[in-house]
Structure 1
């Protein structure tokens, strides 16, 4: 079987898509026959302009398995920059596959266009199409832009692309069951729900109980993208000032809304929030281990009520309390699968402040959660699903 494996992000890049697809490919290779081949088409590390990593343009992992990394322009997480980057990726990928034949195209996509690229190539090559959908792009982007004219234009462009892409797929994996109702009209595909998972790197970490010091200022940490979707500028400044002297925030990462957060912190003279540029995964783990609380927040938009942030799977491996400003499916998932939580309504600083002040601090290992959501096991089942679909 000849497989094309499309993912915009791949290690050594820093992103949920990169971690998910790199580990999936490694597991997929364990299920291939000796005469099977895999072409991976991805990008050079580009998730954050402030984090650079070296990677080979063409890398042969083993006989018959080649990774092609396309260099794309810096985009700074802005819409125009991202469009240019995806355009470069799209046409270079078409060029790389021009003279190739494939039996199966796998495409993992959070912003629709990698999935659309997979659909176009699968159609040209008369190959089967397996989509891994990590976000519902059209719903998210139209939810973020409240202008009716802009939304009409976005829907006019995106709806046909979406219909073509999802209508072409024979199998669609959804990383969140919250997406299920959105895909009810696409009846041609088989569906699966392989979520994100916990990497072995996190499962092997020692969980040591921190010694309590009554006078200690507790650290609340967030590591990841700082974009409109996270809405950190709408919650961190409002609550941090009221927690001065008892709590401090460490925000690690970069993204399109970082500047907005910086400005609000500066205007309000907030001293207990530290902004740290993106760091490697091992460094991030060190920050997590030293922190008291692990923080997550999603902006207050209807589209985000469907999502299940990959960050929760990392956080759940630590025995520390998780502070989560989420709603919808993510909130349900947390209540069902985790303990030692502070849940609050997105952007509600008063609720967060009161919950935190009344919270009785404790450390608690989430043993069952770690057993249930091992990335290794999820990847094993997903790899079997991909191979089975390809052999149908």
Structure 2
């Protein structure tokens, strides 16, 4: 069996989609055996301008071939992103026509890799397994100006309809997506296989500490992830730094389209206790998790983000550390119901955030049950099974 996998991000790049697809490739190799071949078409590392990682344009590891496409320099704006994807799509088309896959897999957050996957599946007359990590049509309604939304939303709704109807099987990364997709596409078959806990976050977990932490020193709070409009850190962190003063020391690790705004807002607070660091590799990130007292996650106050399930919650939960979470809707319910010692507040509500912070128990706890339930290898094994069944049904 031959699987063609399309992903805009793949290791050594840093993103939830990158790590998700790496785990899927490993699961497919286990599931399909030594005779199977997998071709990955992706990009050279480009997630963050401040993070550099070398990766060959073509890499062959037994039955796995990885093609990495060079992109022009780009930032987080939509115009730059569109130009970067156009480059990816143009080069990917040239590579796709060389393939004769039994199944095409496309993972997509901004919808466009899904478009490429739908085209590839039709062109190669193969079934499409579509992995949807975000509802792009919903998101643009929240992040773009009203005039642009009025023009673009009908267009992208039509594109989404074509992509979803082109897929033989559709997976949704969040159960919160189901109320959006199921009524719109009642004839489609959906799975819900979420993000999960990678083994990398299990190997160096801190030992469970039953004793309460003494509060003599400032509480060390860590945020690690994207600094974009979707996270809205520039709306909440300066207010928290101001209200909590020297009682809390923040470390922020990441980059993104709103980093400059965050830096500007913090610059207006003399003596603030916030340190901003560039993105780091996973091994360094895990060390930072282990050094922190509390892990912070935040999504902006927008309706689209009430359906998502941040991959960061799984990483954070695996550490056993207290989780301080600005979430609403489905992700808030998930954190409250599934994760012990997670204090949730409404996004962008600094007073509510401080109140939630006071409720945290400042020690690590045992979340073994959560880890067992959401271990990434188990989730990706199920996805690999679905893809294998899809490819096996193709006529020879």
TM-score by length of 2: 0.95
Query: Displacement of 1:318 after TM fit?
Result: 1.4
Query: Displacement of 1:111 after TM fit?
Result: 0.8
Distance 2:215 2:65 in 1: 55
Deviates more, 1:48-57 or 1:350-359: 350-359
Work out the number of aligned pairs and report it.
Answer: 390
Distance 2:374 2:140 in 1: 29
In structure 2, the residue corresponding to 1:317 is in which secondary structure?
A: helix
* Cα deviation digits, residues 138-194 of structure 1 (max 9, x gap): 1101211242x2111111321221111011111000010100011122234321111
Change (3 A) 1:358 1:105: closer
Distance 1:349 1:52 in 2: 34
* Cα deviation digits, residues 41-100 of structure 1 (max 9, x gap): 00000000100001111001113x210000111212221111111000011000111233
Distance 1:346 1:134 in 2: 21
In structure 1, the residue corresponding to 2:222 is in which secondary structure?
A: strand
Q: Is the 8 A contact 1:9 1:17 kept in 2?
A: yes
* Cα deviation digits, residues 288-307 of structure 1 (max 9, x gap): 11111000000000000000
Q: Partner residue of 2:69? A: 70
Change (3 A) 1:34 1:291: closer
Q: Partner residue of 2:21? A: 21
Work out whether 1:6 is the aligned partner of 2:2.
no
Q: Partner residue of 1:155? A: 153
Change (3 A) 1:98 1:214: closer
Work out whether 1:288 is the aligned partner of 2:289.
yes
1:213-232 correspondence to structure 2 within 5 Å: 213-232=214-233
Q: Is the 8 A contact 1:41 1:68 kept in 2?
A: yes
1:1-392 correspondence to structure 2 within 5 Å: 1-63=1-63, 65-147=64-146, 149-184=147-182, 185-208=184-207, 209=209, 212-392=213-393
Gaps in structure 2 of 5+ consecutive residues: none
Change (3 A) 1:82 1:57: same
Distance 1:176 1:124 in 2: 29
Distance 1:186 1:144 in 2: 25
Gaps in structure 1 of 5+ consecutive residues: none
* Cα deviation digits, residues 327-363 of structure 1 (max 9, x gap): 1111111122111111100000011112323544333
Change (3 A) 1:201 1:33: closer
Distance 2:361 2:102 in 1: 56
In structure 2, the residue corresponding to 1:216 is in which secondary structure?
A: coil
Distance 1:335 1:308 in 2: 13
In structure 1, the residue corresponding to 2:87 is in which secondary structure?
A: helix
Distance 1:3 1:359 in 2: 46
Deviates more, 1:352-361 or 1:195-204: 352-361
Query: Displacement of 1:270 after TM fit?
Result: 5.0
Distance 2:331 2:212 in 1: 31
Query: Displacement of 1:228 after TM fit?
Result: 0.2
